[in-house]
């Protein structure tokens, strides 16, 4: 339970007061608290710009907080059951990279599931750490990667007892969690840190019916997307830590390497107010949301051809727990791919889904979701039925991942060349290639490109998915093995 007065919003109060103080702004930013009359300022209004100050005296400094930012972060730590909280203005990606750089150095091992977000791979590149990849449990019916199996983690830890940390996704993009409490216990027995990507689970600690939060499970660090599920502005997140295994000075030092020296006061104010609202009202609002989501799943499951995934389904498919504020709907029994459904819902019902996969679509709900939103979703699904086809959706589920040739950092710095996709078989990838969303790489720097990778790229491209990579037009960046050399030292 929170011990501090969670109704307080110290940073928001201070920045709001500054905006109406009549200060003559001879500092940056250049809009001078909204005095430039352009289309953008007229649309947003004066209040937004009056609060967009840099770091004037009295408003504290994110790189070394001593005043209202420090107070706001202490309130956040209290609300999330952590010892320390750090505001992030470069998204949870910044937090994930910071966790990895804090926990592991060049050539040290980190145990990590292969279905991580690309930011974790970037953390490996920047830290130079050696990933020990674990294959997550695969759901062959839905075609998605889920959580870590505890027995397999134990085997991996016993094979690599010198690893410095274990990285866990809590939850996956689709809302599935692992047995985090036992994972933490096991990792700590081997003196390993536990780092959690909690981008989609920031709300967990505010309701007993939801899966355990990272802090409740005893994890050492967690990166939380407050903007995804709690309601702050996009790009605003938090890094939270607990226990004495992590040095807060090293965390702050790492964050100072990664973050801007001109952080957005709007993002920080939104973190301050979103935290306060969730701490005060979260239990009640989540009560309502969980009930609405449950009723919506029941309605969907009465519509022939659709299957809304329940917690019982997850339990029966080796998942440990499930975030019921997510609604996964299998649509492939209608002869439609998730990509088909995603596009039709957008074009015909003006409904924006979070993402699509071969067999399903995903809705991410929050305390901002209304009953009207969910009713419209159900009606949109009913409308989908008229698009039913006789085709069988049979995209092959990948149960393996590419072999590793070298560390991501070495591949990133290695000599490179561009080859056509059809000529890329058995080459070593020099870049992340992923479908976005969710941003989980199909191949990462240092992995050997196999036939499955090329098949997946062809499939997702045909579906109209957004493929993120450094290259386009049928080419891919790979390591130039003819110029390959091994680096010395701690690169």
For residue range 402-427, list pLDDT tens digits in order. Answer: 888 899 999 999 999 999 888 989 99
Q: In this structure, are 72 and 135 located in the same domain? A: yes
Compute the average pLDDT of residues 49-70: 89
Q: What is the residue range of 318's domain?
A: 283-387
Decide if pLDDT at 463 tops 90.
no
The count of domains in the chain is 3
- Ramachandran region, residue 236 (left: φ > 0; alpha: ψ -120 to 50; beta: rest): beta
Q: In this structure, are 247 and 341 located in the same domain? A: no
CB contact set of 126 (below 8 Å; sequence gap of 6+):
97, 100, 101, 409
- CATH of residue 346: 3.90.1150.10
Per-residue confidence (pLDDT) for residue 471, from 0 to 100: 64
Pairing of strands 84-88, 165-169: unpaired
Decide if pLDDT at 200 tops 50.
yes
Summary mean pLDDT of the chain: 92
Per-residue confidence (pLDDT) for residue 395, from 0 to 100: 63
Pairing of strands 360-364, 355-356: antiparallel
Residue 25 lies in a domain: no
Cis bond leading into 437, ω under 30°?
A: yes
Q: In this structure, are 250 and 353 located in the same domain? A: no
CB contact set of 357 (below 8 Å; sequence gap of 6+):
142, 143, 144, 338
Q: In this structure, are 372 and 436 located in the same domain? A: no
What the block records as the tokens of 248 is 């807060």
Q: In this structure, are 174 and 243 located in the same domain? A: yes
Q: In this structure, are 334 and 430 located in the same domain? A: no
Name the strand (E) or helix (H) holding 169: strand 165-169
Helix (H, G, I), strand (E, B) or coil at 309: coil
In this structure, the number of other CB atoms found within 10 A of the CB of residue 249 comes to 8
Per-residue confidence (pLDDT) for residue 488, from 0 to 100: 45
Q: Please state, in angstroms and rounded to a whole number, the distance separating the CA atoms of residues 413 and 258.
A: 19
Q: 135, 118, 115, 153: which is closest to 400 by C-alpha?
A: 135
Q: Please state, in angstroms and rounded to a whole number, the distance separating the CA atoms of residues 305 and 334.
A: 5
For residue range 259-291, list pLDDT tens digits in order. Answer: 999 999 999 999 999 999 999 999 999 999 999
Name the strand (E) or helix (H) holding 114: none
Q: In this structure, are 327 and 342 located in the same domain? A: yes
Q: In this structure, are 291 and 271 located in the same domain? A: no
Q: In this structure, are 131 and 237 located in the same domain? A: yes
CB contact set of 12 (below 8 Å; sequence gap of 6+):
72, 269, 272, 273
Q: Please state, in angstroms and rounded to a whole number, the distance separating the CA atoms of residues 153 and 178.
A: 11
DSSP state of 96: H
Q: What's the predicted TM-score (pTM) here? A: 0.93
Residue 37 lies in a domain: no
- CATH of residue 89: 3.40.640.10
Q: In this structure, are 354 and 263 located in the same domain? A: no
- CATH of residue 455: 3.90.100.10
Decide if pLDDT at 396 tops 70.
no
Decide if pLDDT at 301 tops 90.
yes
Residue 11 lies in a domain: no
Q: In this structure, are 461 and 345 located in the same domain? A: no
Q: In this structure, are 303 and 270 located in the same domain? A: no
């Amino acid at each position: 339970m929170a011990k501090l007065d969670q109704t307080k919003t110290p940073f928001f109060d201070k920045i709001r007061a500054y905006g109406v103080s009549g200060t003559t702004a001879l500092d940056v930013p250049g809009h001078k608290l909204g005095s430039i009359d352009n289309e953008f300022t007229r649309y947003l209004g004066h209040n937004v710009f009056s609060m967009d100050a840099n770091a004037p005296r009295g408003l504290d400094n994110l790189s070394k907080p001593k005043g209202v930012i420090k107070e706001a972060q202490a309130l956040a730590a209290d609300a999330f059951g952590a010892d320390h909280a750090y505001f992030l203005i470069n998204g949870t990606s910044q937090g994930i990279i910071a966790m990895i750089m804090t926990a592991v150095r060049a050539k040290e091992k980190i145990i990590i599931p292969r279905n991580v977000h690309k930011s974790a791979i970037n953390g490996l590149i920047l830290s130079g750490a050696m990933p020990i990849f674990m294959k997550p449990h695969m759901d062959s019916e839905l075609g998605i990667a889920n959580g870590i199996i505890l027995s397999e983690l134990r085997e991996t830890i016993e094979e690599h007892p010198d690893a410095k940390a274990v990285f866990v996704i809590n939850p996956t993009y689709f809302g599935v969690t692992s047995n985090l409490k036992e994972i933490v216990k096991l990792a700590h027995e081997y003196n390993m840190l536990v780092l959690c990507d909690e981008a989609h689970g920031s709300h967990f600690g505010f309701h007993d019916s939801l899966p355990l939060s990272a802090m409740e499970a005893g994890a050492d660090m967690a990166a939380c997307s407050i903007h995804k599920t709690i309601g702050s502005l996009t790009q605003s997140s938090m890094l939270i830590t607990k226990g004495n295994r992590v040095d807060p000075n090293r965390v702050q030092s790492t964050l100072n390497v990664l973050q801007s020296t001109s952080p957005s006061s709007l993002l920080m104010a939104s973190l301050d107010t979103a935290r306060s609202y969730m701490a005060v009202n979260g239990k009640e609002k989540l009560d309502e949301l969980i009930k609405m989501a449950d009723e919506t799943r029941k309605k969907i499951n009465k519509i022939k051809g659709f299957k809304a995934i329940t917690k019982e389904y997850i339990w029966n498919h080796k998942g440990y727990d499930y975030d019921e504020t997510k609604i996964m709907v299998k649509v492939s029994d209608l002869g439609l791919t998730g990509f088909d459904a995603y596009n039709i819902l957008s074009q015909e019902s003006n409904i924006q889904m979070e993402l699509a996969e071969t067999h399903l679509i995903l809705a991410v709900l929050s305390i901002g979701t209304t009953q009207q939103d969910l009713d419209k979703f159900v009606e949109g699904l009913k409308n989908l039925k008229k698009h039913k086809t006789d085709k069988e959706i049979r995209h092959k589920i990948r149960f393996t991942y590419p072999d590793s040739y070298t560390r991501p950092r070495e591949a990133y710095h290695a000599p490179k060349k561009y080859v056509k996709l059809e000529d890329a078989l058995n080459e070593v990838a020099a870049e992340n290639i992923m479908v976005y969303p969710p941003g989980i790489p199909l191949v990462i720097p240092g992995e050997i490109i196999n036939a499955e990778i090329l098949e997946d790229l062809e499939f997702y491209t045909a579906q109209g998915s957004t493929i993120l990579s450094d290259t386009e037009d049928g080419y891919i960046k790979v390591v130039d093995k003819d110029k390959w050399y091994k680096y010395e030292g701690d690169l």
